[in-house]
Amino acid sequence: MVLKRLPGKKGTIMARQREQYGRFYEEDFGLSGLGGKLCSGKRPRPTPPAVLELAAEAVRDEEDHQLGRDVRLLLESPVPDEVISVVWPAVTGGNFDPGDHGIGARDWLRMVAEVSRVDVPDKTEAQQPGLPEGELRACVLAEIRSAEPALRSTLPLPRVVSTLRQIVDEADADLGFRLFLRVLKAYAVPVDQGQYDRLLSIGDRLAYPLAAVFEGLAVRWRPLDAGRRDFGTRFGLPFLAAMFHGGWDAWRYEGSGTPREHVGRLAHGDRGLGPGTQAAVLLQDVRRLAGSALSDDAVTALWRTAAHRWNAAEAFDADGRAWLREIAEVCTARLADVAPAYVPALPTLRSDLTEAVLREVRDIGPALDRSVTHHCRSAATEGIASVLEETVRSVDPDLGFRFLLHLLASYDVAVSETQYARYQEIGARFGFHEEYVAEQVSANTAHANDRAD
């Protein structure tokens, strides 16, 4: 464990130098990940040799070096044996308990440590700044307290709550957090969306892969809200256009699929979100654009320019409004399946931001038109900035602003520092996720040649 001294109110705070787990793992990992593999009720109750083989496979085949670290954290901690003995049945949903086989808590940890002993590669280049252990510990303990009533009413193991607290306090808050998540999943403990959002935030600070937090949680989702904009950076019609970039085979997954199936990938792409969220937001964008006063030619030009399909021979989106109807059909089918009570409704237009977005389109429009013309030299794309301006004015300033950011990014239009700052301000007023604007245009920011307002 690498420790780093950080300034604090009372001198210093000791903090772990934590790795960016998301760079090495795609799902749950370490001791909690192993617990998840033992949770399945579809297989016979595992024996100690079978569990040790799973642990060895995780290290050998999946390169899960965190498993060995986690085991050693518990093994070397002052946490009593009787507390550690609660961990295994808790994280496996009661499917495995070494005590049932006459194996003591620390004896079992030593056995797992033996099979997870590996030469860990140097990953210092992937480490993020130290996260204060005290701050993390307080956050995790607060979430355990919040879930305590549900845990006590759901779990048949009376000491789980105190065990989790003791591991967080005396072993490691990071490990305690992952074990807490695994217990919630193993016993399908209901989690309201407010707590779920906080759990995601903690996982984000620890650089977990998203699936390590959300996958398997029994979340009580709020009703779908197609107007919500703070849930991520990839959604709606501009993002669908980004998915169609390149040649026909370039956006196919595994070399197969129709355009409708490709739309379905976004409509079903609710990883970590309430079921139907992506379909609801995409359907809202489509209904706005299809029902607007924008001409058919303008609708088609906007989509095809955004999707880099200016001269594409395939006819599926040659008529923009017909294509929008196909997208809507896919979204409606998805919503009927996962949220049958949902009734699509267009939220109030943010007309208070129309002029602000129009100013930005007009400001960078000439540069955008030049870049698009340079890329394709098609008459159909001449004056795309004017189409974008009309989209903001007569369709939706929110949708128009998202198309603007997408077009600037996909056509490599340089953005000045002052423009970027204004985009961030507009995005915040729309309620976008704090990383939305940065993910779209930060790589194209012209730092050296900032233009005056």
What is the residue type of 94?
A: G
More confident residue, 323 or 444: 323
pLDDT value, residue 12: 24
- pTM equals 0.83
Over 60: is that where the pLDDT of 347 sits? yes
Determine the average pLDDT of the residues in 335-342: 96
- How many angstroms separate the CA atoms of 22 and 452, rounded? 39
Residue 331: which of 185, 446, 226 has the closest Cα? 226
What are the sequence ranges of the domains in the chain?
15-220, 236-338, 351-446
- How many angstroms separate the CA atoms of 167 and 76, rounded? 12
Let me know: does 182 contact 35? Beta carbons within 8 Å: yes
Q: 24 is written with which tokens?
A: 């090495």
Polymer length in residues for the chain: 453
Q: 102-127: per-residue pLDDT in tens?
A: 999 999 999 999 999 765 544 444 44
Residue 88: which of 21, 41, 161, 36 has the closest Cα? 36
Measuring CA to CA, how many Å separate 411 from each of 51, 192, 215, 248, 300? 52, 41, 36, 19, 18
Give bridge partners of residue 415 from the DSSP assignment. Answer: 445
- How many angstroms separate the CA atoms of 75 and 107, rounded? 9
**For 106, phi and psi rounded to 5 degrees?**
-75, -30
Pick from 245-249, 342-346, 424-428: least confident: 245-249
Let me know: does 360 contact 441? Beta carbons within 8 Å: no
Let me know: does 135 contact 16? Beta carbons within 8 Å: no
Over 80: is that where the pLDDT of 288 sits? yes
**For 127, phi and psi rounded to 5 degrees?**
-80, 145
pLDDT value, residue 13: 25
Number of other CB atoms surrounding residue 251 within 10 Å: 16
Determine the average pLDDT of the residues in 359-383: 83
pLDDT value, residue 257: 67
- How many angstroms separate the CA atoms of 298 and 396, rounded? 15
Determine the average pLDDT of the residues in 401-422: 95
Determine the average pLDDT of the residues in 228-249: 81
- Cα dihedral sign, 6-12-17-20: negative
Which helix or strand (DSSP H or E) is residue 288 part of? Answer: helix 277-290
